Chains A and B, each alone.
Chain A
Amino acid sequence: MSLTTDGVVPESAAASTATPVIAVRGITKHFGSVQALRGVDLDVHQGEVVGLIGDNGAGKSTLVNILSGALQPNAGTILLDGKPVTLSSSLEARNLGIETVYQDLSLAPDLTVWENVFLGREQTVKGPLRLFGWLDRRAMILGAKADLDRTHVRIGSVKALAGRLSGGQRQAIAVGRAVAWGSRVLLMDEPTAALGVEQQETVGQLVRSVSSQGVPVLLITHNLPQVHKLADRVAVLFHGHVVADLRCSEVTVDDMVSWITGAALGAQPHAG
């Protein structure tokens, strides 16, 4: 179910005719003789949560690395708001609004929360001290508070060291700073891999709050029960193809498993 900005709940057919925020068309990638992706098509629409699932080696990581700019595809196009884009570095992807929350979260544990939120895009003071890169600490502390308040996760003080926080809180910082930069689409790589049950719940809240702000989320995960609960759709990668595009409301976790393992392919050779 995708919610457009004016609050209309479109039918699935309507959603697929609107221009997707991000779309990949015929992406292929090989490493030497190993064919990781064999022509992947995928659409993610405004406000949608899409799960990307598949077994180890199905090509999930490769696709994420291509979308975050870390790898370049051998063929195929990436469309952002319908326009083809080239993502030659992770910085370029970020500048275009494709933010990635990495599995390791990419936080500096020795820096404070606010320093992590603004890292790489620090605000400097106005006036002559600007020439020396003098930091506007007050503005960034207030800005980080505001950004993290939107994630609805209690961080405590933004002046705390990131390395001293719990897994869920760190996830919130990583998501909060990704969304704060006006991102068009959020990629989350295995967001719950290292978390306890309660913290997985926190991540669930984060995902929902991001998508309710209109930013679509592509969730790459092994955690099928969670993706079933959180996502509107799941795309199943199998041997470098998207073999199924399932609505979570219409399938069970067991159905997902049979697609991931390829069992469903035998039963329904023309599906996907």
Chain B
Amino acid sequence: MPLRLPSALTPPGTVTEGSGPEAEDTERSALLNAVDRFGDFWVLGVFVIMVLVFGLLSPSHDLFTRASWLNISQYAVEFLLLAVGQTFVIITGGIDLSDGAVLGFTGMVSGVVMQDLLSAHANSMLTTVVGFATAIFLGAGIGFVNGFLITRLRLPPFIVTLGSLTAIGAGATPLINGGNEVVNIPSQIGTIGETLIANWVYVPVLVAGVSCVVMGLVLHRTRFGLRTYAIGSNSVGARRAGISVDNHLVWVYTISGLLAGVAGMMVMANFTDASPLSGQNDELNAIAAVVIGGASLFGGRGHMLGTVVGTFIIALLVTGLVLVGVSGSWQEVATGVIVIAAVAGDQVRLRLAER
């Protein structure tokens, strides 16, 4: 899908040629192409400007240090993993409000399972493996249920995942372990969180990075990815083309839940405990990252590289504002403003396309 790719966000060599309808290029479509390109460029532009502004404003240019990169990348891990799944969901025209709650829930359940295994004197390595499997399968299972309810009962994704968010995040998670943090987990979990690769990349950052690359290839290079776009762009047409839309959607929500489970383990690795507070409001940041990255909430549009840039914009806002001495609350304000700007940009594009 070369035309959908912003050249600025594309790995070198993937865009080989050109630019849309050739001879029939009217003024209107030239304008649209310009808007498309601008819409793709501005994300990266905003990111670069933010890096420069925060870097220059921060005392002794702290942003341009290895420590600051480690800090930001570690912070970005959980949003990145959630945003990857959210990218698929939003491209189908849906939304997953439950992924932050799933992150917290899977972490707590996995933590309790590991705690019980350890107190039964189970092997610590084996316990770690069981802990990961628990979080991943549980996350996938919740995602599957979300997808099942959305497709089989024909319920709006917003309602189903809002219900999951409430039932799991506000209801089930605080019941686990009496609402207390689980600290008795295998030491291997903490080791994962603090191990640096080549002095620059924490293991959870690597896990998130590999997830982005693998799922990016799935989205942009496979039949599954193409059908994800097709469903978001015209679900009736996709069904007529022989695509089993319902099954596809169940898979998409399952992937989102699975990645939330992975994120639950990575957060646990970063903090060396399982906390019932983990993941709260993360879904909003994940959705914001995807929308900032150029995805349309109406479905059919979006890009994995855009999501990555969107996630780092949010991560940079948090750390950057702290570095320049602005209260953390302003980060929320700034995120909100950027999300509204991104959705407004999408609306302008739609209106131009309809003219």
Task: Point out residues on A near B: beta carbons under 8 Å.
Answer: 90-91, 94, 100, 102, 104-112, 115, 119-122, 124, 132-135, 137, 154-157, 159-161, 163-166, 169
Contact = CB atoms under 8 A, between A and B. Distances in A.
Nearest to A156: B21
B221 A120 contact: no
B224 interface: yes
Interface string B1-22: 1111000000000000110111
Contacts of A109: 233-234, 300, 353
Interface in B1-59: 1-4, 17-18, 20-25, 29, 32-33
A102 B239 CA distance: 13
B233 A122 contact: no
Contacts of B233: 108-111
Nearest to A162: B233
A136 B47 CA distance: 34
B223 interface: yes
Identify which of B221, B230, B237, B353 gathers the most chain A CB atoms within 10 Å of its CB.
B237
Interface string B229-247: 1101110111111110000
B230 A111 contact: yes
Contacts of B33: 164
A169 B300 CA distance: 21
A161 B237 contact: no
Given A106-B237, A109-B300, A157-B21, A135 B3 contact: no
Nearest to B301: A110
A156 B33 CA distance: 15
A214 to B, nearest CB: 24
B193 to A, nearest CB: 31
Contacts of B236: 104, 106
B222 interface: yes
A115 B243 CA distance: 14
B226 interface: yes
- Report whether over half of chain A's contact residues are helix, strand or loop; otherwise say mixed: loop
Q: Which 8 A-B pairs have the closest CB atoms?
A: A120-B241, A110-B300, A133-B223, A156-B21, A108-B233, A106-B237, A110-B233, A120-B242
Contacts of A163: 353
30 contacts: A94-B242, A100-B240, A106-B237, A108-B229, A108-B230, A108-B234, A108-B300, A109-B353, A110-B4, A110-B301, A111-B1, A112-B1, A119-B226, A133-B222, A154-B23, A154-B24, A156-B21, A156-B22, A156-B25, A159-B2, A159-B18, A159-B20, A161-B4, A163-B353, A164-B21, A164-B32, A164-B33, A165-B21, A166-B24, A169-B24
A105 B223 CA distance: 22
A156 B4 contact: no
Given A105-B237, A119-B227, A156-B21, 13 more contacts: A91-B242, A109-B233, A115-B229, A120-B238, A120-B242, A134-B221, A135-B221, A157-B20, A161-B3, A163-B353, A164-B21, A164-B29, A164-B33
Nearest to A119: B241
B230 A102 contact: no
A157 B233 CA distance: 20
Contacts of B243: 119-120
Contacts of A161: 3-4, 20
A132 B21 contact: no
Interface of B: 1-4, 17-18, 20-25, 29, 32-33, 218, 221-224, 226-227, 229-230, 232-234, 236-243, 300-301, 353
B29 A135 contact: no
A68 B22 CA distance: 35
A107 B234 contact: yes
Contact of A122 (B2, B223, B234): B223
A25 B241 CA distance: 27
A110 B2 CA distance: 12
A134 B223 CA distance: 6
Nearest to A110: B300
A111 to B, nearest CB: 6
Given A91-B242, A119-B243, A164-B32, A108 B24 contact: no
Contact of B223 (A124, A154, A156, A169): A124
A157 B226 contact: no
A90 B238 CA distance: 12
A156 B26 CA distance: 12
A72 B322 CA distance: 65
Contacts of B222: 132-135
A112 B22 CA distance: 14
Contacts of A120: 238, 241-243
A90 B23 contact: no
Given A106-B237, A120-B242, A112 B3 contact: yes
B23 A156 contact: yes
Contacts of A107: 234, 237
Nearest to A95: B242
Nearest to A141: B2
A102 B3 contact: no
Given A106-B236, A159-B2, A165 B242 contact: no
A115 B1 CA distance: 8
Contacts of B221: 134-135, 137
A161 B32 CA distance: 11
